[in-house]
Amino acid sequence: MEVLEGTVRDIVFQNEENAYCVLRIEDAKSLHTAVGIFPFISPGQTLRLKGEWLNHATFGKQFKCTEYEEILPNSLLGIERYLASGAISGIGPATAKKLVEKFGGSIFEILDKEPEKLLELEGIGKKKVEMISASYQKGKEVRNIMVFMQSYGVTPKQALKIYKAFGADSIRRVKENPYVLSEEIPTIGFKTADRIARNLGIMPDSPFRIQSGVKYLVNEFCSQGNTCMPKDMLVAKGIESLEVSEELIEANLVHSVMENRLVLEKVDGIDSVFTLPYLYSEASITKRILALSLQGVKEMKANVASHIAWFEKANGIAFHEKQKEAIEGAVTNGIEIITGGPGTGKTTIIKCILEIFEKEGKKVIMGAPTGRAAKRMSEATGRESKTIHRLLELGVTDEGEEEFEMEETSSLNCDVVIVDEASMIDVMLMNNLLKSISPGTRLILVGDADQLPSVGPGRVLEDLIESGAFKVVKLEYIYRQGKESYITINAHRINSGMMPFLNVKDSDFFFIESEGPEDSLEKVIDLILNRLPGFNRSWDRIRDFQVLSPMKKGDLGVLNLNEVLQNVLNSKARKTKFTEFRVGDKVMQTKNNYMIKWTRNPDPIFEGDGGQGVFNGDIGYVVRIDEEDEKVTVIFDDERYVTYESGELEELELAYAVTIHKSQGSEFKVVVIPVFMGPPLLMSRNLIYTAVTRARQLLVLVGSKRALNYMVSNTRTFERHTSLKYRIKSILDYGLSDSGGDGQIVR
């Protein structure tokens, strides 16, 4: 590691959120540029930086700092400059000069131990001394914490997080139990805490370590979509990754259970370990959904059959028996689940259900888990539809975590709630949705249970269906037929484990064989640049073509695809220094941001008509880049302009290619999917099924038939461990369904 020692001349850039800074540092020889995470920095401070010299393509030679400490200057001139820099509140250039003249090199000693001596100076009163002393002590505290943390291998960025969480208490808390870091600071993981603990000399068999490690393993398992972890699996994983005996894992697990940090319950005969949030969510969903189902909705006098007949006539269709059953079921049940693949008429049914309720004077609220899905629902029905987060007025806490503002007692004020794309709802969202639905309100969940499960934990829709407790209508007959329907036909074939029909003449579903990743990449680019635009000239290469890949990394992962596609599709746009984005780029918002403002006017100066919020999965286009102020303006949905500050740009990604997981709930005119052998977890039927069902007009697969075949046959990979189905079933087994009421529960 190399060292650079010098004084901060100025701060060229500072991200207030994560403390990333670009500094100009002066040493005895010259001025240097240094970059890194520098919390609490101000010009005039003298730093000893550790890191390495790099040659940046655009910015030239710079020092990349991974560790630093502040050193107090020792020359009188250095001390005066430091004090004059504003590093200590209450001291400016004039006071700095006076202090150095009077106290010389012992000024730091005085600031630390005898600040009252400052009163001897003319013009400094008691209040000012208090201010100076407090600021000096705070600086010292921060310095000590930074030095302590870094000496145990904590990076400045992590040290900042620790300081923000524990303040002056940081060192004591970490020394006492470093594992508190991974438990209380969301972005510090067990591995970091474990490294610090080792450096602090904590033994591998310490109960703090094992209990924290066990909890970490359960959390890790849940981050893959599960809501609980079989105990045997946890113990085996614990022995392997914590390298301690089975007895120690068991004993500490019991201890965690006794202290209520973890819960051990039997799920379908298997001992399973839960963390509290998912346990509560699944238990609460069980209680609430059974209550809704059993509540007995008010009978409607409507003659549903005549409404249906009227709708059929108006739309020139004749409903299938199953479709009629779904429509009637929506009126007679407290809860109904309607599921089916593409083209089976789900949207048509929603429209009919809406009309029936509206004609009967009932208020219907519609929602979907993503902004894209909500928008499609609005377009298809001509009625307002919102994201569930919006419906529930989901807010964001200071730490940026999502938080539902709606109190448990408040509820959606309506008679019917219809939610589309219900397969994307995870346990937390479902629980929050149910909390806001008061008894007497009907809930209709519409979705395709064979698609990828929700990104977050749980398999809510499948568990509800498989519980057998609710009215479920499964639509199987496909209505979208004819020349252009091979996307739909093949989606259904894939879903039932059959290879799709490939390259039928005049169809909309193509397969292009390739000889490995490089060849696939070339073929994808050739398709987008030449072949597809030649196929239909009305398609726009950037807007209408969407590449979907199973993964992020690798030649055919979205990161590489985006880099390559940006260069071929948007090569003329000017590059700028501060961002990878260029005007004209297709981009995707990658997290829900409820705070960010949008306007209908491209110039943010004219705030006027607008609103707040851009959501995970929203796709837009870069319309302006302001180099001087380092801002990027993006237009979403052809009308909402959002200006991102440089610190917010990490919420955006290039979106010429997106992962199949991120594409859930969206549809595109033309979809191109590279199909290749990858990690088994990503080689699954529901992944390829989800990808194929995103295409509206044309679908092209590029790759190997062997990989496609593997995906179509592989149904095992995404099995999730959850308890919702079991909880609902076990309550029913106690005979709740025989307890009277309106018999809403279907057994």
Site for ligand ATP in 368-397 (CB under 6 A): none
Q: In angstroms, how far is the first alpha carbon of the chain from the final one? A: 68
Contact status: 73 vs ligand ATP (CB under 6 A): no
Q: How many CB atoms lie within 10 A of CB 94?
A: 10
**Closer Cβ to ligand ATP, 323 or 704, answer by number:** 323
Give the three-state DSSP class for 387. strand
Task: Determine how many CB atoms are found less than 10 A away from the CB of residue 478.
Answer: 17
Q: Which is nearer to ligand ATP, 465 or 564 (CB)?
A: 465
Name 200's Cβ contacts closer than 8 Å, sequence gap at least 6: 152, 174, 175, 178
Q: How far apart are CA 57 and CA 75, in angstroms?
A: 37
Q: Cβ of residue 327: shortest distance to ligand ATP, in angstroms?
A: 11
Nearer to ligand ATP, 426 or 448 (CB): 448
Nearest to 619 by CA among 370, 372, 367, 424: 372
- Whether residue 301 is annotated as binding a ligand: the answer is no
Task: Please give the distance of CA 176 from its chain centroid, rounded to a whole number.
Answer: 33
What x/- string results for residues 586 through 625 when contact with ligand ATP is judged by CB under 6 A?
A: ----------------------------------------
- Is 346 near ligand ATP (CB under 6 A)? yes
- Is 345 an interacting residue with respect to ligand ATP (CB under 6 A)? yes
- At 48 the three-state DSSP class reads strand
Q: Which of residues 296-335 bind ligand ATP (CB under 6 A)?
A: 317-320, 323
Interface with ligand ATP includes 342 (CB under 6 A)? yes
Report the nearest approach of ligand ATP to the CB of residue 432 (Å).
25
Identify residue 90 by its one-letter amino acid code. G
Q: Which amino acid is present at 591?
A: K
Chain positions 464 to 523 lying near ligand ATP, rule: CB under 6 A, are: 479-480
Is 344 a binding residue for ligand ATP by CB under 6 A? The answer is yes
Check: CB of residue 650 under 8 Å from CB of residue 680: no
Of 317 and 542, the one with the shorter C-beta distance to ligand ATP is 317
631 belongs to an annotated ligand binding site: no
Comparison of 308 and 708: residue with beta carbon closer to ligand ATP: 308
What lies within 8 Å, CB to CB, of 25 at 6+ separation is 4, 6, 7, 8, 9, 31, 32, 33, 34, 47, 49, 63
Instruction: Sheet containing 509-513: give its strands across.
Output: 509-513, 695-703, 668-675, 545-549, 657-659
Q: Total number of residues binding ligand ATP (CB under 6 A)? A: 15
Nearer to ligand ATP, 200 or 318 (CB): 318
345: left (phi over 0), alpha (psi -120 to 50) or beta: left
Amino acid letter, residue 374: A
Is 347 labeled as ligand-binding?
Answer: yes
**What's the token pair of residue 683?**
């080689």
Is position 340 an interface residue for ligand ATP (rule: CB under 6 A)?
A: yes
345 is in an annotated binding site: yes
Q: Name the strand (E) or helix (H) holding 411.
A: none
Integer Cα distance of 632 and 623 in angstroms? 8
Nearer of residues 347 and 730 to ligand ATP, judged by Cβ = 347
> Does 488 belong to an annotated binding site?
no
- How far is it, in rounded angstroms, from Cα 408 to Cα 429? 14
Task: Give the x/- contact pattern for ligand ATP in 158-197, rule: CB under 6 A.
Answer: ----------------------------------------
| Residue 447 is a binding residue for ligand ATP (CB under 6 A) | no
- When the beta carbons of 562 and 690 are compared against ligand ATP, the nearer one is 690
- Please state the closest distance from residue 343 (CB atom) to ligand ATP, in A: 4
Nearer to ligand ATP, 292 or 444 (CB): 444
Q: Is 106 exposed, middle or buried (0-12, 13-18, 19+ CB in 10 A)?
A: exposed
For residue 186, the surrounding DSSP H or E stretch is: none
Annotated binding site: 343-347
Annotated binding site for ATP: 343-347
The site for ligand ATP (CB under 6 A) is made up of 317-320, 323, 340, 342-348, 479-480
